[in-house]
């Protein structure tokens, strides 16, 4: 369970990173829209796990690796934006947020189950 302090700091980081990716995201990943879906901060506020969602990319693993290769540059830009709000700028680690793929997978499974029930005539109403 995250404390209020962690949640507040994570919200600030999420907003500022979103602005950074909106303005300068094309430098890291051209023709790709990056969305910051979630930020988790450690209790000491020294490490931030940033979950990203990508639109218009074929390989999300490669995209995350590219963003992680620019993590120190992104951290510097984040530090310039939140320097008056934070004592320590957290180390950033980026991950793929695969929630959408999981939802799609579950929907396909439910559709398959529903289709099998209709074929077997065991549809419950």
Q: What is the pLDDT of residue 24?
A: 87
Percent residues over pLDDT 90 in the chain: 54
CA distances for 48 relative to 14, 26, 71, 85, angstroms: 10, 22, 11, 16
Q: What is the pLDDT of residue 123?
A: 54
Query: 28 and 64 in contact (C-beta within 8 Å)?
Result: no
Structure tokens at 104: 């799609």
Residue found under tokens 């602005």: 19
Q: Which domains does the chain have, with CATH numbers?
A: 4-98 (3.30.300.20)
Structure confidence by residue, pLDDT tens digits, 89-111: 999 999 998 777 777 788 888 88
Residue 24's closest CA among 85, 87, 80, 100? 80
- Mean pLDDT to the nearest integer, 57-64: 87
Q: pTM for this structure? A: 0.79
């Amino acid at each position: 369970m995250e404390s209020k302090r962690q949640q507040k700091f994570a919200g600030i980081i999420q907003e500022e990173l979103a602005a950074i990716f909106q303005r300068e995201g094309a430098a890291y990943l051209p023709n790709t829209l990056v969305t910051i879906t979630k930020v988790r901060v450690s209790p000491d506020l020294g490490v931030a796990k940033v979950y990203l969602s990508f639109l218009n990319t074929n390989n999300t693993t490669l995209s995350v690796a590219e963003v992680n290769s620019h993590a120190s540059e992104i951290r510097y830009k984040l530090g310039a934006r939140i320097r008056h709000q934070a004592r320590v700028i957290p180390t950033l680690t980026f991950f793929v947020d695969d929630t959408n793929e999981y939802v799609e997978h579950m929907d396909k499974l439910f559709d398959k189950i529903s289709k099998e029930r209709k074929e077997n005539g065991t549809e419950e109403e």
